[in-house]
Amino acid sequence: TPTLFNSGTLRSQLSSCYLTTVPDDLDGIYESIKENALLSKFAGGLGNDWTRVRALGSHIKGTNGESQGVVPFLKVVNDTAVAVNQGGKRKGAVCTYLETWHLDIEEFLELRKNTGDDRRRTHDMNTANWIPDLFMRRVMEKGTWTLFSPSNVPDLHDLFGADFEKAYVAYEEKAARGDIKPARTIQAADLWRKMLTMLFETGHPWITFKDACNVRSPQQHAGVVHSSNLCTEITLNTSDTETAVCNLGSVNLLQHLKDGANGKELDHDKLKRTIITAMRMLDNVIDINYYAVKKARDSNLRHRPVGMGIMAFQDSLYAQRIPYASDAAVAFADTSMEAVCYYAYWASTELARERGKYSSYKGSLWDKGVLPLDTLDMLASARGGYVEVDRSSTLDWEALRKKIAQDGMRNSNCVAIAPTATISNIIGVDASIEPCFGNLSVKSNLSGEFTVINSYLVRDLKRLGLWDDVMVMDLKHFDGSLSPIDRVPAEIKQLYATAFEVETRWLVEAAARRQKWIDQAQSLNIYMAGASGKKLDETYKLAWLRGLKTTYYLRTMSATHAEKSTVSAGRMNAVSSGSDAQGSTRTSSALEAAAAAAQMQMEMATNAATDIKFCGVDDPTCESCQ
């Protein structure tokens, strides 16, 4: 979106994402907050790593006092995001990451609660857990977990895999002897339960996995991935001298299908041509971009990362008559993403032959002949198992490996799947890799409210002779869901199942097939109807086992629903008939439905105070929603 918003302006800041790491000293902390303000001013989304900042009760050598911990500073970050919006076009948006061993982690989990001391709450800022694999193994194996202040264990921040485990266990032994204070030991499962509880209650902090991001990073030789970005799809190195930047673009997958022997299929020739053009464009953006911060410019020109993604995955399934909740959809997620990644990597190595390799190429996994698919075995080795992912492929990856060995790579990272909410709206397709939120829904952002209707469904219902005023009323009454409408055939209900009707595991399985090809990550919203502690536990453990690097919002059904949209101005829930714009000839069943809907509206008005509101497509403060 920044590329669209800012092209041709005085300050053409075209990059989407900025990632920073915050040092543990007052100058560095406030310099980082200043950087946030500058980057936000010119329309960048922010991801901050705050793990290095010492915990509450830690000793301050300069004053011989005790630290107030990380939370008071996060309050300042929150208010800075509100004060400095994205160029006056979008609300300022920042996500703070904290590692699971930080002594302030439990208070960090509660930052988005609506109760408690408001001075220790951040209602406008996103938060995310940066979880090492050792913690997940302790959860799985019912072990204990020790919390430290980073000022006492400074090397843990930069370690991952076996090196992290070795250092962490040694620190645990010291803490057990009383040699490290402050420190505290708890049950890993108890902390995991609190993470999931807060995620359900507040939608935050998101669940992201440190080791999967680092072990599978092609740039391990050049630094450490300390966090993801605002939308959890970027996994780039950050340090005191480098602010990571990523430039994003997305292929409209629907426009890359062709007629095949058995219906629609992927058009590889067209997809390859599109991605070659897109990768050249994104590489150009790195050079012409306006950088508000020198550390961002230095990092981007050194590593030249880009994020080629996709949108209209759901639309492509409609075109192929494939339900989202099916093995066929998972297989299409696999083969389509394999193709996108293959052509993106091939385009980057072609650019390297033409323009030269990126400057930190030497020593990277690309340089060693290790491709993203190969890193799954590295992750399994680092974890000691716990990676259950399909490894099959369909394209000639050996040819690509030889090509990279010969010509190198132009970009350190090439692929990331962003939320694409705004650009998908502009071209009229479903966002990113998301299932359809609702066949009839209302989307809100700072530009206003928009009624969104599933045109594919309308076409099919017209073909079946089922599209009429009563169907519109039923769709509104049932929040865009077909499942309670008896006259709709089962096949149509399955094909047009909405996000909350798709079993959550299908989202994770499809994402796992994509992730094996991707050198960065993907914005994966988790939709869950009838959420429970057991279901949350199973879903996020499955995400870890399937090798996902990150997850994004948890979207659950709220206790009540928002007011329905109307297609007739000035009249709530009114449906116009073909012969009478005011609806005077509506059928009696439509009138009964309208009366029922009106009664429901009255009940909602009564119960509004008790409604627990989670992030949804009608949230103008949510980066994904915009």
- For residue 490, the tally of other CB atoms under 10 A from its CB is 9
Reply yes or no on whether 231 is catalytic: yes
Angle between helices 133-140 and 161-176 (to 10 degrees): 70
Q: Please give the C-alpha separations between residue 142 and each of 64, 533, 536, in angstroms, as whole numbers.
A: 39, 17, 17
Q: Please give the C-alpha separations between residue 141 and each of 137, 138, 187, in angstroms, as whole numbers.
A: 6, 5, 11
Reply yes or no on whether 233 is catalytic: yes
Angle between helices 313-320 and 327-355 (to 10 degrees): 130
Please answer whether residues 105 and 56 qualify as being in contact, where contact means their C-beta atoms are separated by less than 8 angstroms.
no
Cα end-to-end distance, the chain, whole Å: 9
Reply yes or no on whether 229 is catalytic: yes
Peptide bond into 2 cis (omega under 30): no
Point out the catalytic residue in the list 95, 213, 231, 246.
231
Q: Is 126 left (phi over 0), alpha (psi -120 to 50) or beta?
A: beta
Q: Determine the Cα–Cα distance for residues 423 and 221; give it in Å rounded to an integer.
A: 35
The 8-class DSSP code of residue 395 comes to S
Residues 6+ apart with CB under 8 A from 29: 22, 23, 53, 73
Q: Determine the Cα–Cα distance for residues 37 and 239; give it in Å rounded to an integer.
A: 19
Phi, psi dihedral angles at 530 (to 5 degrees): 65, 45
List beta partners, residue 442.
451
Point out the catalytic residue in the list 233, 242, 501, 509.
233
- For residue 362, the tally of other CB atoms under 10 A from its CB is 12
Structure tokens at 337: 């993403």
The residue assigned the tokens 């990279």 is 404
Residues 6+ apart with CB under 8 A from 586: 469, 575, 577, 594
Structure tokens at 304: 């030249």
Point out the catalytic residue in the list 229, 289, 411, 454.
229
Going by C-alpha positions, the residue among 295, 256, 266, 250 that lies closest to residue 523 is: 250
Encoded amino acid at 95, one letter: C
Element (H, E) at 144: strand 144-148
Peptide bond into 620 cis (omega under 30): no
Structure tokens at 403: 């090509």
Q: Determine the Cα–Cα distance for residues 490 and 319; give it in Å rounded to an integer.
A: 18
Give the residue numbers marked as catalytic.
229, 231, 233
